């Protein structure tokens, strides 16, 4: 039975959220809960002192002896023989000291708890990103950028500060209610049971009324936030098209529509706790009136005032606790909806190891690295696809050779390069670089393999930072930077800039032209003096003269660097040692430019169209 209950608990969203904490973290949370119970005892002692003070005041005015319980406490505090004023002053100071101590300790401990949960959230985000980046490209692209961004940021906060943080607070407040109830039972069992019944009923009623709405709003908030961010990114990325097509107003209205839906949802989320606040405040007022009337009707004034003092003092703690419990349950339901994408991501990455720490030292010698490639019976099939993107590919690329991969669009050229670089994992077959699988080779010889895509990713930094991306900016790297700029035909351009290498490139390199971004990508690739250079349409945005100059620089690398180039332009391809023609995921021909030209009619036709 216990095993079934445990499995059921672990299957709940709260149980799934708790599992993101390590055993050590869970033990720390347990310490927090125990300390909160101790603070509840301080509250009880303070409330009891207020009740005794009220009883003492009434009996002092009427010149009666205090009750037995009060007398015991006075004797324990050595106040039995003191004047009424002294007794009242000591009890008042005791009550104030206990309640103030409880408040101060609660603030300090709450702050430390939030810092702990925030740091844990940062660690979870970092771990998720590290695990995610250790996956292949297909796995990463199963989610949109905004879904991933939300899952590793807002979603993590919803788990740590939302679900877990609020749960800890709930346990604390429930413990406080239990302690206060025990205290009230000692003073007046009927009042205690009545108080628990009233507040319990009100809390249950509010939970039933608001519970489903809270979860629905939390889920809606996460979905609308992702959708709104996606629309904003979409319009920024397609700004030129939206201007030319005169669609800017359309995009603005679409964003406005989503934003208004999100605004209404956020307003509803902010309003839900207010319902609990007003209802519980009214309950306290009505409860005080009812207890006052009943006590003065059924008890003598001294007993009535003492009981009322305890109730009112307890209510100042019970009412906020009930309010926090109610608001906490709403907050948890909202957080559960927001935490969904993150929990799904965490569970999908279970068992995945984080990226191992890489060596930050810049290496350019690459001792022992052999830039030879061996591919045997390589097959790659994408998910939900019946036809393989690569079908039984086998080839050898000798070290220091220049190899061109050609073929029509969608033939599988980029897929082949992605597997070669370890970006995609083969469905079957083997890929070896320097005798090892791609990722092992990259880990063993960082910088020995370089890659330049058609669309070069730029960071929002300087030209120098984009060239040395991923490596520390050391002054001794200047020679490497100068060599990389020369090979990429960027030396004159950088020299003409007022700030030179410190020129900001803008977000995603928007301050540079397409050709300048591609050349900067080539400079980045050449910075580590690679022994294997992979170019995927890396010169497509260049003018003819610049492409010719860069091609000449690349051809100079023959014999020292293995160059694998995907290209549609054949002006450079004709100088390759080996041309590989791929179509429909299969190698149709490989050999020299003239040999492939003779074997593949489509390639021959393309060469004729280009005047070759």
* Cα–Cα distance measured from residue 334 to residue 336, given in angstroms and rounded to the nearest whole number: 5
CA separation for the pair 44, 179 (Å, rounded): 7
Q: What is the pLDDT of residues 561-576, one digit of tens each?
A: 898 988 777 777 888 8
The pTM of this model reads: 0.67
CB 66 within 8 A of CB 31: no
Could you read off the pLDDT of 360-409 as tens digits, one per residue? 566 777 888 888 999 999 999 888 888 888 889 899 999 889 998 988 88
Weakest mean pLDDT among 46-60, 80-94, 463-477: 46-60
- As given in the structure block, the two tokens for residue 363 are 């290496």
Task: Catalogue all structural domains in the chain, each as residue range(s) with its CATH number.
Answer: 22-347 (1.20.1560.10), 373-609 (3.40.50.300)
Neighbouring CB atoms inside 10 A of 506's CB total 12
Q: What is the pLDDT of residues 99-117, one digit of tens each?
A: 788 788 888 888 888 888 8
Q: What is the pLDDT of residue 342?
A: 81
pLDDT (average), residues 88-104: 78
Return the bridge partners of 379, or none: 428
Residue 174's pLDDT band (boundaries 50, 70, 90)? confident
**In angstroms, what CA-CA distances link 180 with 58, 73, 322, 327, 441?**
23, 19, 12, 20, 65
Q: Can you say whether residue 7 is alpha, beta or left, with left for phi > 0 and alpha for psi between -120 and 50 degrees?
A: alpha
Most confident of 83-87, 148-152, 392-396: 392-396
Does residue 71 register a pLDDT over 50? yes
Average pLDDT score over residue span 321-326: 75
**Lowest-pLDDT range, 15-24, 201-210, 302-311?**
302-311
Rg (CA), the chain: 36
Strand 373-380: give its sheet, edge to edge.
390-397, 373-380, 428-433
**Quick one: pLDDT at residue 432?**
92
Mean pLDDT score, 60-84: 59
Decide: 489 and 540 in contact? Cβ < 8 Å: no
Looking at per-residue pLDDT, the higher value among 559 and 52 belongs to: 559
Distance separating alpha carbons of residues 368 and 386, to the nearest angstrom: 40
pLDDT band at 219 (very low <50, low <70, confident <90, very high): confident
Q: Give the pLDDT score at 524.
A: 86
């Amino acid at each position: 039975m216990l095993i079934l209950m445990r499995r059921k608990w672990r299957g709940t969203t709260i149980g799934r959220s708790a599992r993101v904490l390590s055993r050590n973290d869970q033990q720390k949370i347990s310490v927090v809960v125990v300390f909160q119970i101790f603070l509840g005892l301080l509250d009880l002692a303070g409330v009891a002192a207020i009740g005794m003070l009220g009883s003492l005041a009434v009996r002092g005015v009427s010149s009666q002896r205090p009750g037995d319980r009060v007398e015991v406490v006075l004797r324990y505090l050595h106040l039995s023989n003191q004047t009424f004023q002294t007794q009242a002053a000591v009890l008042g100071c005791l009550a104030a000291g206990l309640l103030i101590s409880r408040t101060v300790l609660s603030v300090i401990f709450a702050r430390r708890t939030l810092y702990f949960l925030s740091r844990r959230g940062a660690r979870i985000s970092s771990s998720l990103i590290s695990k995610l980046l250790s996956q292949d490209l297909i796995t990463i692209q199963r989610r949109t950028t905004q879904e991933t961004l939300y899952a590793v940021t807002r979603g993590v906060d919803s788990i740590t500060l939302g679900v877990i943080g609020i749960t800890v607070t709930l346990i604390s407040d429930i413990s406080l209610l239990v302690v206060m109830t025990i205290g009230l039972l000692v003073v007046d069992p009927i009042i205690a049971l009545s108080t628990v019944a009233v507040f319990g009923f009100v809390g249950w009623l509010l939970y039933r009324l608001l519970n489903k709405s809270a979860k629905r709003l939390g889920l809606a908030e996460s979905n609308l936030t992702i959708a709104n961010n996606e629309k904003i990114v979409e319009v920024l990325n397609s700004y030129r098209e939206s201007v030319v097509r005169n669609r800017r107003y359309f995009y603005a209205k679409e964003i406005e529509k989503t934003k208004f839906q999100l605004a209404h949802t956020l307003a509803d989320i902010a309003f839900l706790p207010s319902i609990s606040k007003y209802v519980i405040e009214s309950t306290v007022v009505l409860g005080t009136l009812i207890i006052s009337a009943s006590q003065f009707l059924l008890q003598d004034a001294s007993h009535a005032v003492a009981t009322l003092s305890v109730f009112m003092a307890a209510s100042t703690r019970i009412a906020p606790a009930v309010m926090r419990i109610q608001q906490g349950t709403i907050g948890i339901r909202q957080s559960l909806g927001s935490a969904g994408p993150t929990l799904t991501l965490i569970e999908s990455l279970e068992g995945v190891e984080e990226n191992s720490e890489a060596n930050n030292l810049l290496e350019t010698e690459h001792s022992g690295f052999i830039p030879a490639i061996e591919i045997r019976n390589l097959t790659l099939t994408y998910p939900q696809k019946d036809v393989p993107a690569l079908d039984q590919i086998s080839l050898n690329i000798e070290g220091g050779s220049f190899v061109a991969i050609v073929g029509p669009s969608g033939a599988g050229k980029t897929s082949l390069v992605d597997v070669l670089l370890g970006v995609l994992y083969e469905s079957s077959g083997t890929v070896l670089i320097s005798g090892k699988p791609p990722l092992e080779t990259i880990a063993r010889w960082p910088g020995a393999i370089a890659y330049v895509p058609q669309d070069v990713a730029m960071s929002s930094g300087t030209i120098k930072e984009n060239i040395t991306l991923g490596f520390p900016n050391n002054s001794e790297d200047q020679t490497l930077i100068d060599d990389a700029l020369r090979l990429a035909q960027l030396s004159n351009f950088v020299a003409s800039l007022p700030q030179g290498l410190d020129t900001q490139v803008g977000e995603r390199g928007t301050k540079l032209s397409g050709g300048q971004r591609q050349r900067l990508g080539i400079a980045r690739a050449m910075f580590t003096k690679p022994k294997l250079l992979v170019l995927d349409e890396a010169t497509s945005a260049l003018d003819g003269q610049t492409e010719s100059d860069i091609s000449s620089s690349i051809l100079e690398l023959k014999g020292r660097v293995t160059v694998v180039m995907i290209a549609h332009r054949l002006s450079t391809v004709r100088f390759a040692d080996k041309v590989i023609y791929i179509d429909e995921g299969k190698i149709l021909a490989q050999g020299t430019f003239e040999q492939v030209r003779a074997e593949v009619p489509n390639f021959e036709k393309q060469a004729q169209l280009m005047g070759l």
